[in-house]
Structure 1
Amino acid sequence: MFLWAGSKTDGRSDRRSIYQKIREYEVLDKRKTVTALRAGEDRAILLGLSMVVVSVMMYFVLGITILRSYSNRVWSDEASCAIVNSTVVSNVNCSYSCGAECWKSSRYPCLQVYVSLNSSGKVVRLLHNEETQESNPECFYIPKCRKDYAATNVIVQNISERLKSQHTVQCFVDPTDRMDTAILTQVYSRVAVFHSLFWPTFTLIGGTLIIAMVKLTQYLSIMCESLSSIKR
């Protein structure tokens, strides 16, 4: 009888030990899962914060470059310009790189283009863009300085013939009439500003959404744990 009772007690203890081992494995697996989830959440929050910081830095850089140039632009009004004259008047000396600390001299043809504003009839010099005004306001287009002058001359002549064939082009003028020049294209236009601000905005929104989703997931997990503890 004592042997039977002892065997019965041993069976219960064995079942308890097996249950405890299973319970320990379940708790260990749960801890590993929670640890992995927390590590993934930390990485996601770090990624979101990095995206937000990078977007803010990009906003700062763009604010002191493109946005400032866009707000201070001179040629802001669009007008219709009739081509009056498009001729090569002279050659301009330039230098091109031939290696490390090596520069050689060359030249490019200076194309001058004059247009008449259809709104006022005023004749002004036409430039390619704002950067041309800063580099050489006497020439419509400043090609890249090359060793082969003939190739550069062909490019400039093609531009001249194309302008002559169009007769009328859309240009941008100074509304205050302080500048006696007009430009053909805007470097700092609304389209350029939109394209420059698109990716920083996309990065900022993406980083904010990542942080918000992680915080929402953490909040929902805490709510589920509290509800499960109440049911128990």
Structure 2
Amino acid sequence: MFLWARGKATDGRSDRRSIYQKIREYEVLDRRKTVTALRAGEDRAILLGLSMVFLSVMMYFVLGITIVRSYSDSAWTEEANCTIINSSIVWHVNCSYSCGTECWKSSRYPCLQVYVSLNSSGKVTRLVHNEETQDNNPECFYVPKCRKDYTTTHAIVQNISERLSSQHTIQCFVDPTNRMDTAILTQIYGQVAVFHSLFWPTCCLIGGTVIIAMVKLTQYLSIMSEQLRSIRK
């Protein structure tokens, strides 16, 4: 009778122990699943951060050799007020347009010359559209695309001439060192374009760095928590 009762008690303890072991196994399994999911999420976050950092570096490189370099190489950096003195078509310039693969035909476009007076110094100078126009043909204010139909090109240039003539004072850009004897109407890349070309890559770089730092901080805190838990046990 005593042996039977003792065996029954032993079986009860073994059953409770087996139930406890199963619960522990489930807890360990759930913890492993949670740790695996957290590690996968951390890996994705680090990959996202590294991608953002790499993208920002590429943006710095591309925009730096295009927008920032073009702005820094431009001689027309000082803004001034210009008074229109004369705007007229003086002659025609020969050009060529594409008519197919390795096919070029000749045409022409009217050369519009615009002279302005700088209100700050009273100096009379020639006005061109932008830096690209200065490089292509500094004698003309605007260099249109060469077309087969000369009438259309002439109408475009004539419309520009009439708009300039209707304005008395305009904003222009001049060379503060007086190395260039012309003024330009607009900059290809101004200060706003330079600001955006540096602002958005910087935001992307900071965002990627913050993501990586937060993941590393989370991993460090997790390790410290596990160490404290093991010490308490």
The one-letter amino acid of 2:76's match is W
Aligned to 1:221: 222
Alignment partners' CA distance in 2, 1:75 and 1:174: 4
Length-normalised TM-score, structure 1: 0.89
Single out whichever of 201-210 and 187-196 deviates more from structure 2: 187-196
1:63 and 2:64 aligned: yes
Distance 1:13 1:98, change over 3 A: farther
Single out whichever of 36-45 and 204-213 deviates more from structure 2: 36-45
TM-superposed CA distance for 1:71, in Å, is 2.4
Aligned to 1:81: 82
> How big is the alpha-carbon RMSD for the aligned residues of Structure 1 and Structure 2?
2.1
Aligned to 2:94: 93
Aligned to 2:185: 184
Alignment partners' CA distance in 1, 2:149 and 2:162: 21
Alignment partners' CA distance in 2, 1:100 and 1:209: 52
Question: Aligned residue pairs: how many?
Answer: 232
**Secondary structure of 2:76's aligned partner:** coil
Distance 1:136 1:207, change over 3 A: same
Single out whichever of 144-153 and 213-222 deviates more from structure 2: 144-153
The one-letter amino acid of 1:55's match is S
Length-normalised TM-score, structure 2: 0.88
Q: Deviations over 1:17-54 (max 9, x none)?
A: 22212211211121121122112212211221222122
Q: Deviations over 1:59-98 (max 9, x none)?
A: 2333333323322321122221111111122333334445
Structure 2 gaps, min length 5? none
Single out whichever of 53-62 and 192-201 deviates more from structure 2: 53-62
Aligned to 1:200: 201
TM-superposed CA distance for 1:105, in Å, is 4.2
TM-superposed CA distance for 1:149, in Å, is 3.3
Aligned to 1:48: 49
Aligned to 2:119: 118
Distance 1:146 1:25, change over 3 A: farther
TM-superposed CA distance for 1:152, in Å, is 2.8
Distance 1:210 1:3, change over 3 A: same
**Secondary structure of 1:121's aligned partner:** coil
**Secondary structure of 1:65's aligned partner:** helix
Aligned to 2:212: 211
Q: Deviations over 1:149-193 (max 9, x none)?
A: 333332222211111111111111112222111001112321121
Distance 1:45 1:125, change over 3 A: same
Alignment partners' CA distance in 2, 1:10 and 1:100: 94
Distance 1:25 1:116, change over 3 A: same
Distance 1:100 1:224, change over 3 A: farther
1:153 and 2:165 aligned: no
